[in-house]
């Protein structure tokens, strides 16, 4: 088996595991609600319902990632560009994860230029943003500072930066996970298979991307053509 086929097999195995994982919590908390609803106080009921809701969104995104990769391996996927307001798209995706961000008590600094019109496959870019935000929510410690910055580099390019403290293994040197031309080592990626989806979607969209981890500071930068 060649190196790329080995990576593909490892990736699909890890994606499958990550799809199953949220369902364990969904089943557990929904069973608790179904069997002990009358005994629970209102605060507990609300908390468990929120947990089920959050886990359901994770399960949906991970299922979409798995379905996307299976399609990627079997079909020729071509982006379908359309005019998109990138600033509004970012805000929409932040709103999608608003409950999770609040529950993590993340100190979110949002610096976004309005009316950032780009021509891109909206569905693919939404998947990129959802996976990057989920990565922050899952691996940023509670109460940590998170920066999301969108600036115009020139007339043709926007730079989107997402920066947060990460609970992954710290390193004294910069590790570039996404920008390498070589076949990536799955064991060197942060423990979020969604980053593999991000890496491949950005390649298809011709969006240069880098992601670095140094001393627990995780930063992703995308250079998005206008």
pLDDT in tens, 156-170: 889 999 998 876 655
pTM: 0.82
More confidently predicted of 35 and 138: 35
Q: Is the pLDDT of residue 29 over 70?
A: yes
Average pLDDT, the chain: 82
Domain boundary (54, 74, 94) is at 74
Per DSSP, the residues of 105-144 read T-EEEEEE-S--EEEE-HHHHHHHHHHHHHHHHHHSPTT-
Co-location of 159 and 104 in the same domain: yes
Domain boundary (74, 97, 113) is at 74
Co-location of 59 and 89 in the same domain: no
Pairwise CA distance, residues 137 & 141, whole Å: 8
pLDDT given for residue 1 in this prediction: 40
Which of the four pLDDT bands, split at 50, 70 and 90, describes residue 3?
Answer: very low
pLDDT given for residue 189 in this prediction: 53
pLDDT per residue as tens digits for the range 88-146: 999 999 999 998 898 889 999 999 877 889 999 999 999 999 989 988 888 888 888 99
Which residues 6+ apart lie within 8 Å of 125 measured at CB? Answer: 84, 86, 89, 201, 205
In three-state form (DSSP H/G/I as H, E/B as E, the rest C), the secondary structure along 86-113 is: HHHHHHHHHHHCHHHHHHCCCEEEEEEC
Single out the residue of 196, 190, 224 nearest to residue 73, CA to CA: 196
Which stretches of the chain are DSSP H helices?
Answer: 3-36, 42-74, 86-96, 98-103, 122-139, 194-205
Co-location of 134 and 198 in the same domain: yes
Domain boundary (41, 74, 107) is at 74
> Residue 41 is part of a domain; what is its CATH number?
1.10.287
> Residue 174 is part of a domain; what is its CATH number?
3.30.565.10
The parent domain of residue 112 ranges over: 82-225
Single out the residue of 225, 108, 113 nearest to residue 163, CA to CA: 108
Task: Give the pair of three-digit tokens for residue 167.
Answer: 């609970």
More confidently predicted of 215 and 92: 92
Cα 207 versus chain centre, distance: 16
Co-location of 39 and 65 in the same domain: yes
Which of the four pLDDT bands, split at 50, 70 and 90, describes residue 171?
Answer: low
Number of domains the chain is built from: 2
Task: Give the pair of three-digit tokens for residue 125.
Answer: 């870019």
Co-location of 99 and 139 in the same domain: yes
Co-location of 24 and 48 in the same domain: yes
Pairwise CA distance, residues 74 & 105, whole Å: 41
Pairwise CA distance, residues 29 & 79, whole Å: 39
Co-location of 176 and 131 in the same domain: yes
């Amino acid at each position: 088996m060649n190196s790329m086929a080995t990576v593909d097999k490892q990736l699909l195995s890890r994606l499958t595991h990550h799809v199953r994982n949220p369902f364990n919590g969904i089943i557990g908390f929904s069973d608790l609600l179904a069997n002990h609803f009358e005994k629970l106080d209102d605060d507990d009921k609300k908390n468990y319902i929120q947990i089920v809701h959050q886990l359901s969104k994770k399960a949906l995104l991970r299922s979409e990632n798995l379905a996307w990769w299976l399609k990627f391996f079997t079909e020729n996927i071509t982006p379908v560009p359309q005019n998109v307001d990138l600033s509004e798209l970012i805000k929409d995706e932040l709103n999608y994860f608003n409950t999770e961000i609040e529950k993590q008590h993340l100190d979110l600094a949002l610096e976004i230029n309005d009316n950032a019109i780009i021509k891109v496959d909206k569905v693919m870019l939404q998947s990129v943003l959802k996976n990057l935000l989920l990565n922050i929510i899952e691996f940023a410690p509670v109460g940590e500072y998170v920066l999301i910055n969108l600036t115009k580099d020139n007339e043709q390019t926007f730079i989107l930066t997402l920066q947060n403290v990460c609970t992954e293994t710290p390193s004294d040197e910069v590790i570039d996970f996404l920008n390498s031309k070589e076949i990536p080592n799955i064991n060197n990626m942060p423990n979020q298979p969604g980053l593999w989806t991000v890496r491949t979607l950005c390649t298809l969209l011709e969006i240069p991307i880098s992601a670095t981890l140094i001393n627990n500071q995780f930063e992703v930068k995308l250079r998005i053509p206008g």
